[in-house]
Structure 1
Amino acid sequence: MHNATVLFQLHTDIDARVSAIRAHRPDWPCSKGCDHCCRQLAAVPQLTATEWDVLKQGLQLLDARRLQEIRRAVAALSDAAPGAVVCPMLERESGACPVYAHRPVACRSYGFYVQRDKGLYCAEIEASVAQGELADVVWGNHDAIDRGLMATGESRSLIEWFGEWPGE
């Protein structure tokens, strides 16, 4: 199967899981206006080659000034300490993602999927789980997403992908 087809299917599967959770739980915390995870990345984002191709499409739609800001933010990631990484795409004032439709799988699945031996990462969702409030949620299987994603090309850091992209 072609890498783009695999990625499109992953996006479709993730969107279905997210929609099912939101339909059952309209008060779900992961929605427009919540950007906590974007401001507290554990490390520099890793993307597969196919995800990078999709992200580049979104980046190419931005105006030159915004793209230059993102390039500077990506370059600054080289000096970021683990756990202190802010997504370089995030518009810090508004909390919006200018490439939302082109975002990577990690962004699409965060807050809706659980990974074996790792659990959840959002403190708000973890607190709700600990209080038994989300016992009826059917979580997505992040291990399955990772297996599918591995089929879409090599994975590299956002810094590396940007370093090879002239962006013109």
Structure 2
Amino acid sequence: MTEHIFDNLLKNYTDLIIRVDEHIQKLTRVHKDRLACKKGCDVCCRHLSLFPVEAFALSRAFSRLDVPCREKILKQAEQTDRKCPLLVDHICMVYEARPIICRTHGYPLYMEKEGKALVDFCPKNFKGIKNLDRSDLLDLDRMNTLLTAVNNHFTACFENGLPGRIPVDQALELYQNLEPS
């Protein structure tokens, strides 16, 4: 599969990532002194399962790493089921391609549970703030709805279908497997 075709397949996902990143960047500017979450923080990094669109985007980034780094990650993936295998010395090796859950984790998420409004974020963040502005919050339900729609559009492009979720360790070499032999 050519890079151009794959770029087109991932366009909706890339657009969603841009929107999420813009929100996170705004939060980072406004609350920079109150944020512990940033590149290098791996306290919450777990071995996750991803929507196929995210798994393929992550796999594409993985395929661009140098061979020794890919080999180290693959070895780690065999040894762990809790910590994300993409971490090397506490740094995500595909940080720019990390999934939405990783991009948003720790930041204020708005959700409703049983009709009650809830806000959740990492307890290391926003210390001393009593109330966050509504514009600081990411609407988790809306974001998940958008991600689901983007994923459904992506998976519809594959004749044989794709699983609903793909664990990170199984996602690593998906992109390479799409390449012509």
Decide: shared fold, TM above 0.5.
Answer: yes
Q: What's the offset of the Cα at 1:18? A: 0.4
Structure 1 Cα separation of the partners of residues 165 and 23 of structure 2: 24
Q: Which residue of 2 aligns with 1:49?
A: 52
Q: What's the offset of the Cα at 1:62? A: 1.3
Which of 94, 98, 104 is the aligned partner of 1:103? 98
For the residue of structure 1 that corresponds to 2:37, the secondary structure is coil
For the residue of structure 2 that corresponds to 1:123, the secondary structure is coil
Q: Among the aligned pairs, what percent are the same residue?
A: 21
Normalised TM-score (structure 1)? 0.75
Structure 1 alignment gaps of length 5 or more: none
Q: Number of aligned pairs?
A: 151
Structure 2 Cα separation of the partners of residues 55 and 164 of structure 1: 9
Distance 1:164 1:34, change over 3 A: closer
Q: Which amino acid aligns with 2:74?
A: R
1:84-142 Cα deviation digits (max 9, x unpaired)? x21111112xx22221111111111112241524743523137x3xx5x1513421112
The answer (yes or no) to whether the contact 2:106–2:122 under 8 Å persists in 1 is: yes
Structure 1 Cα separation of the partners of residues 10 and 176 of structure 2: 22
For the residue of structure 1 that corresponds to 2:131, the secondary structure is coil
Distance 1:13 1:29, change over 3 A: same
Q: Counting strand residues as a fraction of each chain, which structure ranks higher?
A: 2
Structure 2 alignment gaps of length 5 or more: 1-7, 156-163
> Which consecutive segments of 4 or more residues in structure 1 shift more than 4 A?
162-168
Normalised TM-score (structure 2)? 0.70
Matches within 5 A, 1:54-69: 54-69=57-72
